[in-house]
Structure 1
Amino acid sequence: MRKIITNTFATLDGVIQAPGGPEEDRAGGFELGGWSFHYWDEIMGQVMDEGMSRPYDLLLGRKTYDIFAAHWPFMENDPTAEQFNACNKYVATQTLKDATWQNTVLLNGDTLAQLKALKSEDGIDLQVHGSADFIQTLLRHNLIDEMNIWIFPLVIGQGKKLFANGTVPSNLKLTKHSVSSTGVIMTTYVPDGEIKVGSFALEEPTELEIKRRESGV
């Protein structure tokens, strides 16, 4: 079975929209695109290189695919471009009917069934980059095996969120983390079962606590 691994840049308040540039995604009137640019350092480059050193194919939403297809095929003497151009690109879309970027496979039939079939195959990992809307589908259907979340030290207050409404409640286990010189926390999480709840309340609630519960506050 192939692993689906997401790679996401997020602000402290969970915004993942347009980290790479002003024109990346202006949906909803978003005006702060490019918010991750000035945080990059050598440590982040090393962690990125490590994560992309193993063989992988790309699994992308339509918008991120369009951004990548307009950029990476035109980069020269760039290791990432060489990897992206050579690997298979699987695109979850109901609108794209044709693609010119080499090694592109469109998942534009029953996309969910195609995703499950792709994941069930033997093969190399499937890396998801960006794809803010598409990640919501993967989360809702519990299809993600590993999440690399880089948390940047800023808040934006609006924009597309990583864990949006409709996210299925679940535990996550932290398996790796490091911190850049610019304060970016680079984390890796894997699914860890259902949420287990408990309580710090007194075994025998006080009279005031009983009244508080009855009030519905």
Structure 2
Amino acid sequence: MSDSIAGAAGLLLGRRTYEIFTATWPYADDTDPVVAAMNTMPKYVASRTLTHLEWANSTLLGADVAAEVIGIKDRADGEVLVLGSGEFLRTLIEHDLVDEYRLLVFPLLLGGGKKLFDDGTTRRPLALVDTTASTSGVLINTYRRADG
């Protein structure tokens, strides 16, 4: 995952995730390549309430988020990632703007939690294109759109 973040062309973030990240990443050690990437890459933030963004290279998306994300994807020279940002991700899914899913499965039973996909989400067949197990047992499963 560190390689994905370090090599990304930008981040798409919802307001809550942006606020969590901006409280930590700008103050982290920039000698770490992931920290340096997070702090220098373009960040695009979907929010109905924020009016000013403090974190370097952050841009507030306008009211037509779907159109803006299409433009960002067209201009980006590489992957644009969504980290966290569950509510924003559901908007992207609704507008069919997600090309690839990297779903991490942690070896932990919680017994509850938030759903990633809402009831009523349009059916979209996916194909598993890669799976990797970390040394701690986390599975990183990569899915892309499948025909059908």
Same fold (TM over 0.5): yes
* Residue of structure 1 equivalent to 2:85: 131
* Residue of structure 1 equivalent to 2:5: 52
> Does 2:147 correspond to 1:193?
yes
User: Residue 122 of structure 1: CA displacement?
Assistant: 5.0
- The 1-side partners of 2:74 and 2:52 are apart by 25
Q: Quick check: 1:72–1:85 contact (8 Å CA) kept in 2?
A: yes
Q: Quick check: 2:13–2:43 contact (8 Å CA) kept in 1?
A: yes
- The 2-side partners of 1:124 and 1:192 are apart by 21
Q: Quick check: 1:152–1:184 contact (8 Å CA) kept in 2?
A: yes
User: Residue 177 of structure 1: CA displacement?
Assistant: 0.6
- The 2-side partners of 1:99 and 1:154 are apart by 35
Q: What letter matches 1:125 in structure 2? A: E
Structure 1 window deviating more from structure 2 (98-107 vs 77-86): it is 77-86
> Does 2:25 correspond to 1:72?
yes
CA distance 1:122–1:69, shift in 2 (3 Å): closer
* Residue of structure 2 equivalent to 1:154: 108
Q: What does the per-residue CA deviation read over 1:34-83, in whole Å, with 9 as the maximum and x for residues that have no partner?
A: xxxxxxxxxxxxxx233234242111111111111110000123222111
- The 2-side partners of 1:55 and 1:179 are apart by 21
Relative CO higher for 1 or 2, CA cutoff 8 Å, sep ≥ 6?
A: 1
- Tell me the matched-pair count: 147
- The 2-side partners of 1:82 and 1:156 are apart by 33
Q: What letter matches 2:14 in structure 1? A: G
Q: What does the per-residue CA deviation read over 1:59-117, in whole Å, with 9 as the maximum and x for residues that have no partner?
A: 11111111111100001232221111111100111111101111111003322222222
Q: What does the per-residue CA deviation read over 1:95-147, in whole Å, with 9 as the maximum and x for residues that have no partner?
A: 11101111111003322222222223353321111111111111111110111
RMSD over aligned Cα atoms: 1.7
- Calculate percent identity across the aligned residue pairs: 39
Instruction: Return the TM-score normalized by structure 2.
Output: 0.89
Q: 2:75 aligns with which of 121, 128, 131?
A: 121
Q: What letter matches 2:55 in structure 1? A: W
Structure 1 unpaired stretches of 5+: 1-47, 195-217
User: Residue 157 of structure 1: CA displacement?
Assistant: 3.1
* Residue of structure 2 equivalent to 1:82: 36
Instruction: Return the TM-score normalized by structure 1.
Output: 0.62
Q: Quick check: 1:140–1:166 contact (8 Å CA) kept in 2?
A: no
